[in-house]
Structures are given as C-alpha cells and as structure tokens.
A and B are shown apart, each in its own frame.
Chain A
Amino acid sequence: MRDEIVLATHGLTRRFGGLVAVNGVDFDVKSNEIHAILGPNGAGKSTLINLLSGEMPPSEGQVLYRNQPIQGKNSRQIARMGIGRSHQKTNIFPRLNCLQNCELAARIHMGGVFGSWRSRQTAREVSERALEVLDTCHLIHRAYTTASDMSYGEQRQLQIAMVLATAPSLMLLDEPMAGMGREETAQVTELLASLTDRYTLVLIEHDMDSVFRLADRITVMVDGCVLESGPTEQIRTSEQVRDVYLGRHDKGATA
C-alpha cells in the first residue's frame, strides 16, 4: 500500500487580507513516505501545515485525507482522525514530567481520562504506550524528569514523542530540528529515518542535509506557490530550486 495517497490538497489557498500566504497549492502525500516541504522564510510552509492540521481554515481549496474532505474541521477533530502535528516552537507541558506529557497525548486516543472509573488495564496500556514512545525517542532515562528541566534538544524530541504517542497515521512535523546542535540534529534525523516503515511524515525543515537524507519526495514552495515537486534526486539537481536557494530566483518565473 506504499503508493496509496493519504493526503492531497487541491488549489489550497489562504489569504491574510491582501497577502496570499498559500496560493493554489496542489500536492499529495503517499503512504509511508517522508514528504518534505522546502522553501525560504515566508514561503508559506508553516501556514500550509496549519491549514492541513486545522489550526486555520483555508480561504479556498480542498484538503483530502484518505479521500475524505477535511477542510473546515478544527484541529481537535483532525487530531482525532489520526493526523498528529508538532509545532515550530517547542510546545509541551512544562510543569509535567516527560512520561506525563506522553501519557496525556496517548490517553486521548486510548481513553481513560476518567481513569478512576475505568479499568486499570487502560491506565497500564497508556503508560506502556508512553514508555514505548519515550524509548523510541531515546528519552526513557528522562521519563520522570519535569519537562521544563530538560535541555532544548530533549524538549524537541519530547515533542516528537508526544506526536508518536497519539498513534497517528500521518505526522506533520514543523521544523523538528530548529535550533538544535549538530549532534542533536543527527540524533533526530536518525529517529525520523527509523519511523518511515510505520508512519507517513510531512516534514518542514531547513536543514538541507537532513532533508535530502530523509525525504522520499520534496515539494519546494516560494511566495506561497509550489515551485517544484518531485523525488528527492529531481529536486537536488533542479536548476530552479538552486536559483531560489542561491538568491537568483526571479519572481516572474514562479507565476
């Protein structure tokens, strides 16, 4: 089922007054692939992720998740459909410990918030799931550490662990390596690479080495539009993309 299209957008547009942040974007994500979105600052990448995750409604266009239109649904509804997302800024529960952060994420999809009235079995399953994702994300030794006491890199990893804990079928990761050191970046790259056999990932990232190592396909955005979309090799050798990143991009060429 590797070529099954999980997510697709048609003519997706988002306007902020006169500014068109995302302009008629068409792209699709296939099952179990890592689809990276590249683009300079202000290209509309994060807005696109916000439209996909329901954090803002599109002005126009369609988002199809497993052939069902999901545009107009809110972020809670979309999360419960199996689309998990991490944010560009570290977005965790600082006063809770690492395990509790992941438990909160796991519990909403496994039940048992009103744990005292439900079986202890659910509680155990939730904890096991949380420990499992912490293990996957190399954070098991920090399980009982308060999130605010962890290093920045660990907090970023915790954020990925929380998305994993929701057992999503599609993960939207917004710059998971932002602000990380070289060693931490390598660790997260390795982590993401290990997830591909179980998850489908949409990845926004500025670290080119990681993107080219991880992505199966890449979509390059400029000024809210798709400049080019295709397999990683095609993007790596694309003249157009090189021009954008070396600053020789002529705006007229993208229209």
Chain B
Amino acid sequence: MLHRYPKRVAIIMLVLTALVATFPLWGEAAFGNQANFMLEKLTFMLILALFAMSLDLLVGVLGLVSLGHALFFGLGAYTLALASPDFSPASMWWMLPLVMGISACVGLLIGVLVIRTKGIFFIMTTLAFGQMLYYFVSTSRFAGGTDGVFIMFRPSLAIGESTLLDLDNPYSFFYFCLGMLLIGYLFLRWLTRSYFGQVLDGIHDNEHRMQALGYATGGYKLIAFVISGVMAAIAGMLAAMQYGFANPAQLGWHTSGEVLMMLILGGMGTIFGPILGAFAYEILLYLYEHATTHWPILMGLTIIVAVLVLPRGIAGLIIAPPWQRKRIMNAEAHETENAPATASAQPVTQSKED
C-alpha cells in the first residue's frame, strides 16, 4: 500500500538514526581531530535532509516539480538574519513562529498563483518566483546585497533565565537539528497516511478525476504548497544559524536544483528517501570535491547512473531490493488468487501495515 513500507525500512532508518545520534561518542575515535568538522558536516546534512523532505511533499507526493523551492529556504535564512537583534540573541520561541508565519504568508501568496499551472509551467513559474526573490535580495541594500547578512548571535532556547539548550554549542545544535528533522519526518509520515494525504495521492494520480468527484483540488494543492514552504523555511533558518549568515546563493536556482537531485537520488514520494538522498549527495560531494576539481562531472554522471539504474532511488532499493523483487511478485500473485471473500469495515488508511 502507498506510503507503507516493509519492516526493514524502519529497521534501517532506526539503525542509521542511532548511528548519527551517537556520532559525538564515536566521532573522535573515527575522525580524530577532524571530528568537529565532521560534526558540522553532519549537522548540515540533517538540515538539508529536512529541506529535501519538504520538497518531497510537493514533488513526490503531489507530483508538482518545483524549481523554486530554495525561495523558502532562503526566506527562512533571511527572516532570521533580518529579525535578529544586533547585540543580543533572539529567542527561538518567537523566531520559529515568525519564520513559519512569514513563509506561510509568502507560500500562500505565491501558491495562489502557481498552483493554477501544471507540468513545465509549474516548473517555470516556481523558478521565476525564486529568481525574482534572488534578484530582489541580491540588489537590496537592506538585505546586504550579494554579501548577504551576518547573524551575530544564534537564537537562544530558554525558559526565563534558564537555558534549555545551548544552541551555540555545536553538539547541542546538532541534536536540535536532529530533533527538528525527526519532528518533520513524523509530521510528514502522519500527513501522507492521513485522509488529506490520500487526497494528495489522488491528485497526483488523476487530478481530473478528483475534480469530477467533486474535490476542489486547488485548495488541497495550496495547503500542501504552504506546508512544504514552511518546512523548507525552517531548514533555511537552521542553515543560517549554523553558518551565521544569510546569502543570496541560498535562494538561487542552483540550490533548488541541488535539492531536487537529492530527491532523485533518495527516491521521490517516500518521505524517508530524501533523507537518505541528502546524506548520499553530501557524502558524494565531499568525496568528489576531494578527488578532483572537476567534481561536477562526476556528480552529473552519478545522477545519470542513479536515474538509469535506480528509478526509485535509494529508497526503492530498500523497499524492493533486486534479489527480492521476483519473490515479492510471486507472493502478490499468490495473494491475489487466495484473496479473502470479504473485507472488514475499517478505515483503510489506519490499517495495520505499520
């Protein structure tokens, strides 16, 4: 069933999460004095995973390919940079809602216009909006032009006088990002399995039929667009917190293209796939950059091979490994022959294939 996967997916993801979460314990033993640099890389991978996952709601689940998703990533970064006080840290308690609120408003505004389009036109209009904001920001004095804006203090997470989590500490920040990624993942997992998610699947499969059934598909697409944008903005805010600046490059189409490649590499429409894709992309990038100055050629070849060999990305490899595909097909044929004569009345979206 759609959005329900074999148990090994959960096992692999849990093992990987445990491996990442325990990095501070084994990082130094594995990487020596490079451990801090690796922690920083790993933190950035978590942020990119959240960004890629947000795009998956739009591209993989809803079937709308966007080339302007970096708009929200950059918007989150700039909101943090411009709203942060110069001489004291902002509070995360209002910064996070502010980033979410502004990105939701912008998402709503852009969404109303772009969801009327489909296919290549959706790609082009999202690209156009992304580039518009890119040029606006890179030529505006208040946004620091092409230099961007520096963030002097990371926001603090405190109740009253006591600090809940010291976000200036790289380890604490790492766990904060991991927490945000987990919350994002659980939210999207719940959303895609809900009735609302089923409507999005229906729109992906056959929007015309959904309209003929009586669904106002535009409204559902708009909600998904806004949710996706808000999540990307949170990722952008985290990226700005990590590196201490917001830069026009975060808004540009290169960033949108990169995150789309992470999605293709990881496996679209699976929610967990983009997380793997973001990690795989960043690890490959690191290796290629250190191997040759012509690394974009290697990366390009990797994406081409991935598309040809793994059409459902790394996620597809886990969901249906090649050596199991034949067995699964035989089992399905057998199941069809022996299908039960009756089915019980239970909401299918909440059935027990977890």
Contacts of B194 in A (CB 8 A): 114-116
| 24 chain-A/chain-B pairs, Cβ below 8 angstroms | A55-B212, A74-B211, A75-B211, A76-B214, A85-B212, A91-B209, A95-B204, A96-B205, A97-B1, A97-B348, A100-B198, A103-B348, A104-B198, A104-B213, A108-B213, A108-B215, A115-B195, A120-B347, A124-B346, A134-B343, A141-B341, A142-B339, A149-B336, A166-B213
Contacts of A95 in B (CB 8 A): 2, 201, 204-205
- Contact status B205-A100, CB under 8 Å: no
In A48-99, the 8 Å CB interface with B consists of: 53, 55, 74-76, 79-80, 85, 87, 91-97, 99
In B215-229, the 8 Å CB interface with A consists of: 215-216
Contact of A21 with B by CB under 8 A = no
Interface residues on chain B, number (Cβ under 8 Å) = 35
Q: Is the interface of B mostly helix, strand, loop or mixed?
A: helix
Contact of A189 with B by CB under 8 A = no
With A96-B202, A127-B346, A127-B347 in contact, is A80–B214 under 8 Å at CB?
yes
Contact of A161 with B by CB under 8 A = no
B-to-A contact residues, CB < 8 Å: 1-2, 190, 194-196, 198-199, 201-202, 204-206, 208-216, 332, 336, 339-343, 345-350
Contact of A105 with B by CB under 8 A = yes
Interface centre among B208, B209, B211 (most CB of A within 10 A): B209
With A108-B215, A109-B214, A115-B194 in contact, is A93–B201 under 8 Å at CB?
yes
**Closest B residue to A104 using CB positions:** B202
- Contact status B343-A144, CB under 8 Å: yes
**1/0 per residue A139-150: CB within 8 Å of B?**
011111110010
With A126-B347, A141-B340, A162-B213 in contact, is A114–B205 under 8 Å at CB?
no
With A76-B214, A127-B347, A141-B341 in contact, is A112–B195 under 8 Å at CB?
yes
- Contact status A92-B348, CB under 8 Å: no
B178 CB → nearest A CB, Å: 26
- Contact status A96-B198, CB under 8 Å: yes
- Contact status B345-A128, CB under 8 Å: yes
How many contacts A-B (CB < 8 Å)?
A: 117
- Contact status B212-A75, CB under 8 Å: yes
Interface centre among A127, A140, A146 (most CB of B within 10 A): A127
Contacts of A91 in B (CB 8 A): 206, 208-209, 212
Contact of A193 with B by CB under 8 A = no
**1/0 per residue A107-132: CB within 8 Å of B?**
11100111110001001101110010
A145 to B213, CA, bound (A): 21
- Contact status A53-B212, CB under 8 Å: yes
Contacts of B350 in A (CB 8 A): 123
Contacts of B343 in A (CB 8 A): 99, 131, 134, 140-141, 143-144
In A208-245, the 8 Å CB interface with B consists of: none
A107 CB → nearest B CB, Å: 6
- Contact status B215-A76, CB under 8 Å: yes
**Closest B residue to A106 using CB positions:** B213
B348 CB → nearest A CB, Å: 5
Contacts of B340 in A (CB 8 A): 141
**Closest A residue to B332 using CB positions:** A149
A74, A79, A97, A123: the one contacting B213 at CB < 8 Å is A79
- Contact status B196-A114, CB under 8 Å: yes
- Contact status B201-A96, CB under 8 Å: yes
- Contact status A100-B348, CB under 8 Å: yes
- Contact status A113-B196, CB under 8 Å: yes
